Structures are given as C-alpha cells and as structure tokens.
Amino acid sequence: MERHKVLLTGFEPFHDHDTNESSDVVQEIVKTGIEGIQITYCILSVDLKGSQKPSEMMESQRFDAVLHLGLSSKSTKINLERYARNKISMEYPDNSGRKLVNEKIERNSPEILETTVSIHNFDEEFDSDDDVEWSQDAGSYVCNETYFRTLTRNLKIPVLFMHLPKSDYVSLERQTEVVSRTLRLMLNRPKIVVVGAMLRDSQNRIFSCMRPDGDVWSGWWEFPGGKVEEGESLTGALRREIEEELEISVTPKSKICEIKYSYKDRDVELHIFDCGIVNGNEISLKEHEDSRWLTQHELLDVKWLPADLPTIEDWHLNGIPDPTQGP
C-alpha cells in the first residue's frame, strides 16, 4: 500500500533563542515515524532562502500535504494559523541580517491567503484540547513569509502552519503528539458517527436548531445531537449531547433512520432516534443560535445540513413519523 507523502518543516534558532522547539519536534517525529506516512523534512534557515525552500521542493517533488512548524515565544498555546498575509515587517533582522519593514512578500499576489485544510475537521479534532487554538494572525516575520510563499504555490493539497510555544508552556512531548495528530488529520479522510434527536411536541412538530455564528455551517439547521465519542454507545452519546446543548434529559427510544453522507472533507454516519415528546419551555439553547418547531409543511422553510436533508424531504412528502401510532 502506497504511503502518503508529507513535507514537514521547522526552523533553526533565531534572534536571541538558543533553541527552536519547531526543529526539536520535527526531529522527534522523524525519529519515531508515523505509520502510513512518508515524511520528508527540512529545517529551514530563518531568512529569504529558508522561506523559499518549501516552494522549491514542491516544484520538484510531489507531496500530499505540507505542514510548517515555527516558534512563537509570545504564545502559551499551540496556534493553528488560519491565514498568511502578503506582508513582511520585522522587529529585528533575520539570520541573514535582512530587516524589512512594511513590504509585500510577493507583488501581484493576494493580500491574504487561507489554509487549505478543513477548518471543520480541525475544530472537531481539537475541540477538547485547551492548549490548541486557531490564530488569525501569523505575524509578519519569516514564519508568515514562508507560509504565504507556500500557499501561493498550492491550491489543491492541505497546507498549514503551526506556531509552537516554548516548552515551558507546552511540553515537547505534548507538542509532538499534537503535530502527529495534525499530520494524520491532514492526510486521512475522517469517518464520523453522529447521533440526532427527533424531539416532538404535542402537535407532532419537530424541534430544529440553527448552527451558531462562527461555525463552518453557520446559519444551517440540524437535528440536535452530535458526535459519538470513543467508547460511547449511540444512545449514551445522544443523552449527553442533548443535555449539553438543550439542558434537558431525554430517553432515546427507537431508531428512526440511519444515513450515510459524504461531505467534501469527511464521511458521516448519522443515526436519528425518537426521543419522545418534550416541553419546549424547558429547553435552553446552549450551543445553537436559534431554534424552531416545524410542522410537516414547514420542514423545508429552513436550510438543513446536507446530511439531514434527505430525511427532511421524505418527511415533508410523507409526513413526520409518529412512533406512538405504531407501524
């Protein structure tokens, strides 16, 4: 079986730093390896040549993903850099003595470029990791310069820059673990099991929720529920998710339907359970922007997530299931 090929880079020490955690993590990952991944690595010089090196390597070699690592001495967490900007402005010279102020990295290129990894997948992967977060600003030093040059050369494969803190804040062992997870996530299509609740009121309307601002699917509607964690049963996960999202307790009953859907960046297996009739006055939205009770004829008045839509279209045509009525 052919292994995925990834370019992994770190940087040499720079300015007043005797070491650079990014190169330490690269060396550790190369030493231990990651099953199924062929790693080509490079410790970059902190200068113009270093920023250009990954782009040059991409022209002569084929990679399935590129992950850049750099040191951010001001950060206390691991930062996933969402954007690279067409700007270089240095507080201190790079390792070649170059010191540029408020200049463009490349003329005739966009002002800003976004990572090509799936934001949604990373949100899901690191949702419970308090020491990992998205950053909107990769700075204006050689790290951002390298990131921008790489993104201008690529539109098709996953490319990401991660800023690592000093090991005083996050241990090298932990940094290595997060980087290893990141590489797997960049290269392997996630398969996610999700549960949803069909909640009804006394008029046989169903409860729907709208994804919040800032979410990748902001403004789209869905069944309340969520991802099944490792070791959880489907019904146990659904009880937990409904308590977290709506602050009510439910008892999942029969499974209404099971759907398999392939998004652009992931495969989803959705299980929807009848959770009976609930009192809407007891519901308190904790994670969603809005909610609605919908009759059969109102089901298509909102924009449903693609995985939910086939079920909703069936119910709109044939009626909302009422498990109390029997087959």
**DSSP letter at 131?**
T
Q: Residue type for 179, please?
A: V
Residue whose pair of structure tokens reads 């001001």 in the numeric block: 74
- Return the pLDDT at 264: 82
Query: How do residues 259-295 score in pLDDT, each as one tens digit?
Result: 999 988 889 999 999 999 999 999 999 999 999 999 9
Domains of the chain: 4-187 (3.40.630.20), 191-321 (3.90.79.10)
Q: Which residues lie closer than 8 Å to 255 by C-beta, 6 or more apart?
A: 234, 271, 272, 273, 274
- pLDDT for the residue 268: 93
Average pLDDT on 179-201 reads: 93
Alpha-carbon span 274 to 171, nearest angstrom: 45
Mean local confidence (pLDDT), 243-264: 94
Three-class secondary structure of residue 43 per DSSP: strand
Bridge partners, 161 (sequence order): 68, 81
Is the overall model pTM greater than 0.85, yes or no? Answer: no
CA 37 to chain centre: 20
Helix axes 172-187, 21-32, angle to 10 degrees: 60
Q: What is the pLDDT of residues 140-168, one digit of tens each?
A: 999 999 999 999 987 689 999 999 999 99
